Amino acid sequence: MKKVMILIGGVVVLWPLMAVADELSESLERARAYAKEWALPEFRVILNDDGGISATDAGVLEVGRKFPDHIKSSNPEVRKTALDFIFLHELRHVHQQATMKETFDDPAKRPLIECLADLEAARALVAGNIASLDLNNKEEIKKAQISLVSFRDARPDLVRFLPDQAGASHLTKKERVLAMQFGLWSAYADQLAGAPEKFKDFAANIARKAGLEAEPKDEWDITTCKKIVGSGKEALAALTFWFEPYTDRGAYFSSAFSVRNTSTRDIRVYMTFMEGFHPKGKDEEYENYTFMDAASQAVTLKPDEKVVVDASLPIFDGKPADADLFVWNRQMLGMETSLVAAEFTGKFRLPASCRDYFSASDDTKAQTFMDMARVGSYAADRFSSLWTKSYNTYGMEDIIRPLTIPVRGVATANVYVGSEPNVVLSLYEGTEKEDALATFREWADAAAKYCPKDELRREWISKDDQLPTLSLPKLTPDSDATLYMSAPDEDHPNYEVGWRIGYAR
């Protein structure tokens, strides 16, 4: 009886080569051959009586004798493909532990690690099956087509125990299927890179589907997986997506949307749009999806920058009558059907504001604007650091409190404490309307001098009973300011002119 050498607990023993051991050893050897370019470190293989397979710490691959029982397909080629893929997945984990251990050991990066293992396993498996493919030989092309069918038909066994919803330790069914698909596309793109001239357009089309041109080659795999698992939740939360007007693109599923960066840092956004079909009415059976096309883009947005993204995809013919079409090129209003990832890049950078144009000067009004910007920097905490509590004779808190820091060039400076605290700086109080208007114009002209025109919003008198206002939507990144003029009333006998500084939502 033949025996296979297996390491158990670090001790070499001879295991009877029963059918299951034979199947496992042959699959492992094929996987190692497919993975030869990975430069795998030394590792031990331990055979146990469990039904699983996993790469553990210290380069140990534990293989359960019952693990092939999970493969339900009766097709020998499909069964072989599924086993080879699983072995490749675990061998990739062995490689990851040796080359990216910090990421491998980070629980928060587990979905990314699993996706990378799936993608590289699929790429190696497909590449191994087509490595010697002669595109001029019809019989070899036919064999390659059979291997592709087996690769696709292995999906149900490979996603059987995966959840439908995202988790902390494993991929979802959709994510594994996507990782396998991109691995397949990239394997073919690599194989066709040196193909004869007549296959040049076909090769370029496969590379485009894989998104190989969207990012540097050495970053493609991790960028693709970031999109698949939706990495960068915090950066994604700082982006807003919105529909753009439809434009006729002829033979395309025309779609465009805008992306705006609402944060104070640059954000790099990665996007992939896909289309294809699936069995009618079974949109959650991702293992049975057929992916016909894909397009990828990547853009970097500065704070408050907006870009318009063309998410159009070509309309294809040939959808079976018993299938439904899907087009994943939306990312707004809750329809997160494109693949999107984002990450903050560069240093923290405050958005543009009037404060950027203020500078120290002997000019009185310049000094006032400098002090106003200082006040505005406290807006995020609603100016709570700029006033102290005080109670009146009735034991109630005073709503008007003096500002605790000086503001040059103003008559008074107070904080109005309420549900939305704001700071009021008094510039004029008197009975003469013309004097009030002159004060307003003087400060409005000063604001135009120290702030760019696109930072000002101005409303002048158009009727006798209307009073002017001027607003600075961005005095600082967190505050706005309004130059106001008020008329006398029963409670206030005078005209008043002043600045009101509040929190900019």
* pLDDT score for 246: 63
Section 299-306 average pLDDT: 87
**Among 223, 234, 242, 232, which residue's Cα sits nearest to residue 296?**
223
* pLDDT score for 502: 94
Q: What is the 3-state secondary structure (H, E, C) of 93-108?
A: HHHHHHHCHHHHCCHH
Judged on CB neighbours under 10 Å (0-12, 13-18, 19+), 329 is: buried
pLDDT digits (tens, 9 = 90+) for 337-382: 789 999 999 776 666 678 777 776 778 898 899 899 889 988 888 8
pLDDT digits (tens, 9 = 90+) for 159-190: 877 766 666 667 899 999 999 999 999 998 88
Q: Is the pLDDT of residue 15 over 60?
A: no
pTM greater than the 0.85 cutoff: no
d(CA 350, CA 29): 56
Contact 473, 399 (CB under 8 A): no
In three-state secondary structure terms, 169 is coil
